[in-house]
Amino acid sequence: MFQIASRAMYLLAATTLALFALVFIGVAALTVVEGAVSMHPEQLTAALLDGVGLIVLSIAVFEIAKYLYEEEIDRDRELRHADEARRTLTKFLTTIIVAASLEGLVLVFEARTSEISAIVYPSLLLAVVVLMVVGLASFQWIGRRAESIRIDPAVSAAEEADDRKGTDAQRPGG
């Protein structure tokens, strides 16, 4: 019962996020059209940059929805092995890094058209992106080292049997 409720919640969250992504794309298109109709180059430029920012946000939101669907609904599995966890987290963090990088670039271009003090936030955002890349690289390095550790198959099989016993004991009548 709990597993069904859990899947339903993940499905609701993924569907809602996908719909939000579509709304962001619609708002981006509307913003660009309004900028084009204004017939002012500055307003059109601002509208295009806002549109790009919204589309980047839309992609990030959609990727999160896709991640929730693929990892929590479609693939009924737990991340028991280090390589599975590393690949899943890498995929998710890469999406966030790309979205933040693109947003930082859009903000740099927006800051270019205003005061020089407006460059502080985009610079900080890009610095955070660099830290995220370094963190992901560290995670990859540590993860690969963990994967290279040899595990005795007999001990591994005993641990899996213990896990199954614990799961069976938690079930009603088990």
Looking at residue 165, its amino acid is K
d(CA 103, CA 107): 6
Buried b (16+ CB within 10 A) or exposed e, 121-158: ebeebbeebeebeeebeeeeeebeeeeeeeeeeeeeee
Q: What is the mean pLDDT of the chain?
A: 82
CB-based burial label for 166 (10 Å; 0-12, 13-18, 19+): exposed
Burial state string for 63-83 with b = 16 or more CB within 10 A and e = fewer than 16: bbbbbbbebbbeeeeeeeebe
Please tell me which of 74-78, 82-86, 128-132 the model is most confident about, judged by mean pLDDT: 128-132
Predicted pLDDT at 152 = 65
Tell me: the pLDDT tens digits for 39-53?
A: 888 888 888 888 988
* Encoded tokens for 1: 């019962």
3-class secondary structure, 114: coil
| Angstrom distance (rounded) from CA 67 to CA 135 | 20
pLDDT digits (tens, 9 = 90+) for 119-128: 899 999 999 9
CA nearest to 45, candidates 114, 98, 124, 104: 114
Banded model confidence at residue 26, pLDDT cuts 50, 70, 90: very high
What one-character-per-residue DSSP string does 4-67 give? HHHHHHHHHHHHHHHHHHHHHHHHHHHHHHHHHHHT-HHHHHHHHHHHHHHHHHHHHHHHHHHH
pTM: 0.65
